[in-house]
Structure 1
Amino acid sequence: MAARAVAPQQPLRIRGEGKPKMVEAEGRTRRVLQDIGNLVPDRAVEGKPGPQPAEKNKKAITQKLGGGVGKGGDVAAKATVIEKCKAEKPKTVLSSADRRHIINISDSKSRDKNKRTLTSTLSARSKAACGLNNNPLDSVANIDEADANNELAVVEYIDDMYKFYKLAEDENTVTDYMGTQPDLNAKMRSILIDWLIEVHRKFELMPETLYLTVNIVDRFLSLKTVPRRELQLVGVSSMLIACKYEEIWAPEVNDFVSISANTYQREQILVMEKVILGKLEWLLTVPTPYVFLVRYVKASEPSDEEMENMVFFLAELGLMNYPIAISYSPSMIASAAVYAARRTLDKSHLWTTTLQHHTGYVEDELKECAELLMNLHRGAADSKLKAVYRKYTSPDRSAVALFPPARSVSPDRSVEV
């Protein structure tokens, strides 16, 4: 262990009559040096001067009195001077190194104190500038609290991921392409999607596979003219691609040949698969309505199985409808499906601050799309295309298709604050 520093002893100058005499100071314990680990031998009692040689004290007192004690000086004056000498604290002389060390400690403490004060000040100003102190979004529910320990939920990144999805959906938006398809129309597309929903259900595929299939069909048809006889081939090949992308155990090509009643041969499906991937430049990682649905259903509190099935029922009705599919973004369709489902199930608040926070849409932005979805619900029972309706009349889907359709959106229902 390194030797501890010892404060150097400095002479003390005592004022008096005649030539001043130098008296060496004894080592004394100083509080600040004790704090930093410097020790001085022969500690004195804290706050009191250390012992001084008797002879030197006598000489100092004599000088104060102006003469020796035994020379007949005034006794009262002598006693007063003696008491003053006793009460007078000796001066402590610090070395230059000690002074620098003490100054550094003082400056460090001062900086730490200022840092804490500055941080709290900046935090308060930041909250005030962002409006967090009185922001109604302070009441937003933490929908990820239950998944805090679930690594697959990636709670730390989920908000950033959905911000990216909202940006990415604009890059993959499908515009009205029926004008470039002389042999096709919106009704043919609806028939194709209705049939794909049946195939999807028969193969018991993942829900995201269906949404990706429809996305691939629309994007491909917006890029290439397709004759009517190949429209079903496009649908089959699109589902094959989506299955390979989403499913753990994807159906084989021969399964799709069989499900299409041998309308197309295996080689035709594989050729079309290659053409589709080439036109899409192999871009399959795109935000579909399903990506947003799972998040927005979670934000629709309280959310139960009935609510979830109603949302997906309305969203799949929207998949079949060409005007909805090409007029609204995936996030808008998902938000409107949640809004329409809450209206159909007569929830106390149609649009909450939690939903507004996570979707980024206010109620007025959703009413038009939600009204179209509710109109589809009203006509689902009488439509000739019943794949979605049959799917959601089953008990395992809470039979939500049988629920009374909602009336028109009431303009007086507003966001919960």
Structure 2
Amino acid sequence: MGEQENCLGSTPGRPSKKRPMMTAATTTTTNIESLQGRQQLSVTTKKRVVLGELTNIPKIVELSSIPKPVHPKPKSSTSREKEEVVKSDAHVDRCPDVSRKYADAPLIYQHLRSLEVEGNRRPLHNYMEKVQKDITPTMREILVDWLVEVVDEYKLVSDTLYLTVNYIDRFLSSHALSRTKLQLLGVSSMLVAAKFEEITPPHIEDCCYITDNTYTREEVVAMESNILMFLNFNTSNPTAKSFLRTFTKAAQEISTFSNLQFEFLACYLAELSLLDYICVRFLPSMIAASAIFLARFTMLPSIHPWSLALQRYTGYKASDLKECILAINDLQLNRRPTSAQALREKYMQNKFKRVAALCPPSEIPSHYFEVVTGKHSSEAQEAPL
């Protein structure tokens, strides 16, 4: 019995640790077939997305005067205000599970708000007029719309798109660039953002491919290095998407919104702001709050889009958001001529509930921008989608 317990043979029921051996020929054949399969897959799935011609666009300054950037009024961080924030969050997160999940949301939100106002994280609101000599807002719009198509084609997350546009605007705020290098800046910024956000970012060869090999591998690497040096390798930055996640959850909890269409609509409106150079002057949190306002107004135009709880949660009154709301609303209603089509086509797909086809009333009632009272808040809560 003791000899049987001490024997070195494999124990019944336990899988053997030995693996079947493969010959060198078998291994080589398997590797070649796997490589050929990957090459064939990459050829069939990747598609070159053509960018409109930037160099033939006449150099016209469309915006003669750009208003100064809109920033929220500074608030004192007293203990009473912090207590109000906690109370408002308790009102938002009525469900115990949600309360636990977003227990640290106030502190995270305050931290993001403090980061977004830092000067080194913000582009100049008038860099087209002050810095750039060969690039116009129309060229920027064409580039961003093309990047929307590239991000969608390569199945990248929307956070990559937001960071990409942020890098572009900040880089152009301090570097005068030729229009022939604008697409290089765009694709290199996307590469940097993808390496920060994506699990599997595109390769440099992919960046050359989608530009129809307009730029070489060395040029993309050099521009990527310039962007990273400019950012001081700090690739993290709050974007409208960062705030939209929190605001969307708050809006759903407050108004019993459970419709996926509402979330897609808010995302669509926030991404519309990326196309417009005018929206550069708005803070990301302001754009996210304005997208929530417009999404609620589009789906329930007869109900006040803002509530007292949302006002406390976001820190914005409806009057604070008016200028940003009207700018995004003009984009939503196509009131300004634009050549951008990729973003609208993206959100016309069934998987996004065709939210780009939703059209709000042509005018937003003026009293919707007045101070929100408890009555408005209760009305919004009683009107589910």
Check whether the contact 2:163–2:193 (CA below 8 A) recurs between aligned residues: yes
Question: Could you tell me the TM-score, scaled by structure 2's length?
Answer: 0.69
1:157 shift after superposition:
2.5
Matches within 5 A, 1:130-141: 137=88, 140-141=91-92
- Cα distance in structure 2, aligned partners of 1:261 and 1:205: 20
Q: Which residue of 328, 339, 347 maps to 2:293? A: 339
Check whether the contact 2:89–2:313 (CA below 8 A) recurs between aligned residues: no
Partner of residue 210, structure 2: 259
Check whether the contact 2:135–2:178 (CA below 8 A) recurs between aligned residues: yes
1:408 shift after superposition:
2.1
Partner of residue 168, structure 1: 115
Partner of residue 312, structure 1: 267
Q: Does 1:403 align with 2:349?
A: no
Q: Which residue of 216, 220, 223 maps to 1:269? A: 220
1:234-265 per-residue CA deviation (whole Å, 9 max, x = no partner) reads 00000000010000011111111111111111
Check whether the contact 2:205–2:217 (CA below 8 A) recurs between aligned residues: yes
- Cα distance in structure 1, aligned partners of 2:122 and 2:95: 29
Gaps (5+ residues) in structure 1? 1-125
1:186 maps to a residue whose letter is: P
- Cα distance in structure 2, aligned partners of 1:365 and 1:143: 27
Assess, with a 3 A threshold, how the Cα gap between structure 1 residues 221 and 257 changes in structure 2: closer, same or farther.
same
- Cα distance in structure 2, aligned partners of 1:131 and 1:221: 38
1:342 maps to a residue whose letter is: R
SS at 1:229 equivalent: helix
- Cα distance in structure 2, aligned partners of 1:241 and 1:286: 13
Q: Does 1:299 align with 2:250?
A: yes
Partner of residue 199, structure 1: 150
**Structure 1: which 4+ aligned runs deviate by more than 4 Å?**
129-133, 135-139
2:292 maps to a residue whose letter is: V
Partner of residue 329, structure 1: 283
- Cα distance in structure 1, aligned partners of 2:144 and 2:237: 19
Q: Does 1:286 align with 2:233?
A: no
Q: Does 1:223 align with 2:174?
A: yes
Assess, with a 3 A threshold, how the Cα gap between structure 1 residues 259 and 143 changes in structure 2: closer, same or farther.
farther
Partner of residue 345, structure 2: 390
1:392 maps to a residue whose letter is: Y
Assess, with a 3 A threshold, how the Cα gap between structure 1 residues 148 and 360 changes in structure 2: closer, same or farther.
closer
1:160-185 per-residue CA deviation (whole Å, 9 max, x = no partner) reads 11101101101122112112110111
Check whether the contact 1:374–1:406 (CA below 8 A) recurs between aligned residues: no
Assess, with a 3 A threshold, how the Cα gap between structure 1 residues 186 and 131 changes in structure 2: closer, same or farther.
closer
Q: Which residue of 315, 320, 325 maps to 1:360? A: 315
Q: Which residue of 371, 383, 398 maps to 2:326? A: 371
- Cα distance in structure 2, aligned partners of 1:260 and 1:130: 51
Check whether the contact 1:166–1:331 (CA below 8 A) recurs between aligned residues: yes
- Cα distance in structure 2, aligned partners of 1:164 and 1:373: 26
Check whether the contact 2:289–2:314 (CA below 8 A) recurs between aligned residues: yes
Partner of residue 350, structure 1: 305
2:276 maps to a residue whose letter is: N
Identity of aligned residues (%): 35
Partner of residue 128, structure 2: 178
Assess, with a 3 A threshold, how the Cα gap between structure 1 residues 228 and 157 changes in structure 2: closer, same or farther.
same
SS at 2:366 equivalent: coil
- Greater relative CO, 1 or 2 (CA 8 Å, sep 6+): 2
1:145 shift after superposition:
3.9
- Cα distance in structure 2, aligned partners of 1:143 and 1:283: 37
1:335 shift after superposition:
0.6
Gaps (5+ residues) in structure 2? 1-77, 375-385
1:333-358 per-residue CA deviation (whole Å, 9 max, x = no partner) reads 11111111111111633111221122
Check whether the contact 1:380–1:386 (CA below 8 A) recurs between aligned residues: no
Check whether the contact 1:233–1:272 (CA below 8 A) recurs between aligned residues: yes
